[in-house]
A and B are shown apart, each in its own frame.
Chain A
Amino acid sequence: MAEKMTIGTPQFKLLEKLCNASAVSGDEGEVRQIILEEVRPYADEVKVDALGSVLVTKKAASGSKALRVMLDAHMDEVGFMLIAEDGEGIYRFETVGGLDVRQLVGKAVLVGKNKTPGVIGARPIHLTTPEERQRKIPLDQLCIDIGPGGKAKIGERATFATRFKRVGPSIFAKAIDNRVGCAILVELLKNAPAHLDLCLSFSVQEEIGLRGAKVAANYFKPDLAFAIDSTPANDLPHYADEENIFYNTRLGFGPALYTFDSGTLSDPRLVRFLAETGDSEKIPYQYRQPGGGGTDAGAIHRQQAGIPAVSVSVPGRYAHTSTLVMRVEDWKNSLALLSATLKRITPDLLAEDRP
């Protein structure tokens, strides 16, 4: 099945639509609508839960006790919320999720459901002193300017205005974290193996604390779970003569398998199974460097009486900024590895105790 799953025009179109949609944490409606349309023809059950996650079940062909496998990808993205109006279309704002304030200045944004254009403005070089230019501008001195004609309300969200572009082997877009995970889940559903109960959660509110995945895991009560996400690559060759030892992940090296992050010690059985699958199917993969950060797996594995879980992420440079860069090959190989893994999974995977 893996060989049939290529990334073609429909997949690019879907990812483009997903990345260009606005879905800041807590306001995932636009992405949810796209997902609902995509999954309905292939699902046995589709439900929007109390928090707004899309929960999809695809039952195994044989009715007997199939393994329940949860696949999670979060729909939300980091962004902004308007908190005060200064008049003439100028708004103060808060950040939603992990954003570096240094990277906001001068970026174009889209405000609200109508995607009103605006900009995070700051004084130009003509009007600043050399001393001022050494300092970072604090968040409370930044504002979003949509002009006097623009319509916006306090509490509305804004996203980066970046539009999806494909350039050769790369994709440049906002919110690849984690629309690429959503796109992968849709493909896995379309090609669901017949021997598993697939439980897909397109989760809300990951960027502000893994909230959607936590309740989704309690709904599904799966036997095991994969969180599919996007993870930072810090692989620029800028370490002069020194070996880069803090790359986290590297573009072009394939899907990144997690062993340890600040939220999860991945189930070693699942890590091993993914690696064995990659080795025998000749699909490249890499290990994400153990360290900080986290994914929905951090919430999922702690629900109920414990759920074996692991994360698989597509590497991307410049995460949580206006433009993330990803390689098409990494997307493709992530899909291939997950697809092959699902196909090969049997209950034997969990027959032995966790090492």
Chain B
Amino acid sequence: MKSLIQKLTETFSPSGYEAAIREVIRAEVTGLADEIRVDALGNLIVRKAPAPGSAPAKKIMIAAHMDEIGLIASHIDENGFVRFTTIGGVYPQMLMGSRVRFYSGAPGIIHTEPLEKPTDTPSVEKMFIDVGAKSRKDCPIKVGEVAAFERPFLELGDRLVAKSMDDRIGCAVAIEALRALKSTPYEVYFVFTTQEEVGTRGAETSAFGIDPDLGFSIDVTGWGDTPGRKNFEMALGKGPAIKIKDGGMLSDPRIVNWMIKTAEKARLPYQREVLLGGTTDARAMQLVRAGVPVGCISIPCRYVHSPSEMVDINDVQNAVKLIGALLSNPIEL
């Protein structure tokens, strides 16, 4: 599974430009599903049919977003420096000195105009990407081209570190859950969604198209177990989190109960998640058409939206097991 996580996190696909990661995922799920298709916004929809002889099957949508935060070129100046703006929640203090890679493959480094105090964090407007060009003509980047953090995968014992763990780790969990799923009474739609980081847009349209009876997202959540963190009980290694609420959604209590009972029956560790800010694809799924009961399984993740996001492999594996248990047995909400 670690090599899968490495492959997923070392692929560059900022929001709106998910073709590269979609092809990596498509190669993984081919042969595991009954139908694979791509919709108008680029979502990869992977359907697993119910076991023959099942009662009329409920449709379950499981969303993991495959896009990542990034940058987009807004101007190439006369000396070949690339000005940019951000896609999704990029913190300026993470950018200085970072290396990025453009969608075309071209690498670059980020620096800033001189600051009043060298210790200040520059605004995005002051920063630029140096791609090694000597002039505008020489610059391989065009206005509108996107880039993402360049940072290789790192293994620190049980702890795995990479850019875009948010939410390639959710993609990895979904892929492994599908791989392990031999038979299900449901019609299961694993959806690898697009444009989550700019407002859960892919989940909104794919949920409309699928029209599920229930669903959940798999995404990262924040952490409370490093120096100075307060009021958020979430630790790496204590199990996947079952979301009760976040900044944009209240999980359906029936979904929460279903997840908790299933985890306890299977003797899997879990954490209860009450997240004050941020949200996931589940918010968009909940509000489509006439409304959908939803929840979310979260992977605790340190340093979210930095170039080095950290998860614990045990939480990841237990999330796979929990989802397997959820999808194996019929449930009445």
Residues on A lying within 8 angstroms of B by beta carbon are 243, 245-246, 259-260, 265-266, 268, 271, 287, 289-291, 301-308, 350, 353-355
Report A199 CB to chain B, min CB distance, Å.
16
Contact yes or no, B125 A246, CB < 8 A: yes
Contact yes or no, B39 A260, CB < 8 A: no
Contact yes or no, A354 B143, CB < 8 A: no
**Is B17 positioned at the interface, with any CB of A under 8 Å from its CB?**
yes
**Is B74 positioned at the interface, with any CB of A under 8 Å from its CB?**
yes
Contact yes or no, B144 A271, CB < 8 A: yes
Binary interface encoding of chain B residues 1-37 relative to chain A, with 1 for a CB under 8 A from any of its CBs, else 0: 0000000000000011111001000000000000000
Q: What are the 10 A-B residue pairs with the smallest beta carbon separation, nearest first? A: A265-B16, A305-B209, A306-B205, A259-B144, A306-B40, A354-B42, A306-B41, A353-B38, A290-B72, A289-B74
Report B21 CB to chain A, min CB distance, Å.
12
Contact of A354 among B38, B72, B201 (CB under 8 A): B38
Known pairs A243-B77, A259-B144, A287-B144; A302 contacts B205 (CB<8 A)? yes
CA distance A350 to B73 in the complex (A): 25
Report B115 CB to chain A, min CB distance, Å.
17
Contacts beyond the supplied A245-B74, A289-B75, A306-B205: 15 A-B pairs with Cβ under 8 Å: A243-B78, A245-B77, A265-B16, A266-B16, A268-B17, A287-B143, A302-B204, A305-B40, A305-B209, A306-B208, A353-B42, A354-B38, A354-B41, A354-B42, A354-B194
Report B209 CB to chain A, min CB distance, Å.
3
Known pairs A301-B41, A306-B205; A245 contacts B72 (CB<8 A)? no
Report A13 CB to chain B, min CB distance, Å.
36
**Is B206 positioned at the interface, with any CB of A under 8 Å from its CB?**
yes
**Is B49 positioned at the interface, with any CB of A under 8 Å from its CB?**
no
Find the B residue at minimum CB distance from A260: B72
Chain A positions within 8 Å of B195 at CB level: 265
Find the A residue at minimum CB distance from B146: A260
Find the B residue at minimum CB distance from A268: B17
Chain A positions within 8 Å of B43 at CB level: 306
CA distance A355 to B78 in the complex (A): 29
The number of residue pairs between A and B whose CB atoms lie closer than 8 Å in the complex comes to 85
Report A249 CB to chain B, min CB distance, Å.
11
Known pairs A290-B85, A291-B85; A265 contacts B144 (CB<8 A)? no
Chain B positions within 8 Å of A291 at CB level: 74, 85
Contact yes or no, B125 A290, CB < 8 A: no
Find the A residue at minimum CB distance from B20: A355
**Is B283 positioned at the interface, with any CB of A under 8 Å from its CB?**
no
**Is B243 positioned at the interface, with any CB of A under 8 Å from its CB?**
no
Chain B positions within 8 Å of A355 at CB level: 17, 19, 42
Report B145 CB to chain A, min CB distance, Å.
9
Contact of A353 among B16, B22, B84 (CB under 8 A): B22
Chain B positions within 8 Å of A289 at CB level: 74-75, 85, 143
CA distance A44 to B105 in the complex (A): 48
Chain B positions within 8 Å of A287 at CB level: 142-144
Known pairs A260-B144, A287-B144, A306-B41; A245 contacts B204 (CB<8 A)? no
CA distance A290 to B83 in the complex (A): 10
Find the A residue at minimum CB distance from B76: A245
Chain A positions within 8 Å of B75 at CB level: 245-246, 289
Report B8 CB to chain A, min CB distance, Å.
19
Contact yes or no, B208 A304, CB < 8 A: yes
**Is B198 positioned at the interface, with any CB of A under 8 Å from its CB?**
yes
Chain B positions within 8 Å of A260 at CB level: 16, 72, 85, 87, 144
Contact yes or no, B40 A290, CB < 8 A: no
Binary interface encoding of chain B residues 193-227 relative to chain A, with 1 for a CB under 8 A from any of its CBs, else 0: 01100100110111011000000000000000000
Known pairs A245-B77, A289-B75; A354 contacts B144 (CB<8 A)? no
Known pairs A290-B74, A290-B143; A305 contacts B42 (CB<8 A)? no
Contact yes or no, B15 A265, CB < 8 A: yes
Contact yes or no, B19 A305, CB < 8 A: no
Chain A positions within 8 Å of B142 at CB level: 287
Chain B positions within 8 Å of A302 at CB level: 201, 204-205
Contact of B19 among A245, A307, A354 (CB under 8 A): A354
Contact yes or no, A305 B208, CB < 8 A: yes
Chain B positions within 8 Å of A271 at CB level: 144
Contact yes or no, B83 A245, CB < 8 A: yes
Chain A positions within 8 Å of B41 at CB level: 301, 306, 308, 354
A–B Cβ pairs within 8 angstroms, 13 of them = A245-B75, A246-B125, A265-B17, A268-B17, A287-B142, A287-B144, A290-B72, A303-B205, A305-B40, A305-B208, A354-B38, A354-B40, A354-B41
Contacting A at CB under 8 A, from B40-61, are: 40-43
Binary interface encoding of chain B residues 159-185 relative to chain A, with 1 for a CB under 8 A from any of its CBs, else 0: 000000000000000000000000000
Chain A positions within 8 Å of B84 at CB level: 290
Report A95 CB to chain B, min CB distance, Å.
26
Chain B positions within 8 Å of A246 at CB level: 75, 125
Known pairs A265-B195, A287-B143, A290-B74; A305 contacts B205 (CB<8 A)? yes
Report B110 CB to chain A, min CB distance, Å.
16
Chain B positions within 8 Å of A301 at CB level: 41, 201, 205
Contacting A at CB under 8 A, from B123-163, are: 125, 142-144
Chain B positions within 8 Å of A243 at CB level: 77-78
Report B122 CB to chain A, min CB distance, Å.
14
CA distance A260 to B78 in the complex (A): 23
Chain A positions within 8 Å of B42 at CB level: 353-355
Report A302 CB to chain B, min CB distance, Å.
6
Contact yes or no, A308 B40, CB < 8 A: yes
**Which of B41, B78, B125, B205 has the most chain A CB atoms closer than 10 A to its own CB?**
B41
Chain B positions within 8 Å of A306 at CB level: 39-41, 43, 202, 205-206, 208-209
Find the B residue at minimum CB distance from A304: B208
CA distance A289 to B144 in the complex (A): 8
Find the B residue at minimum CB distance from A354: B42
Chain A positions within 8 Å of B22 at CB level: 353
Chain A positions within 8 Å of B205 at CB level: 301-306
Contact yes or no, B198 A265, CB < 8 A: yes
Chain A positions within 8 Å of B74 at CB level: 245, 289-291
CA distance A265 to B72 in the complex (A): 11
CA distance A308 to B194 in the complex (A): 13
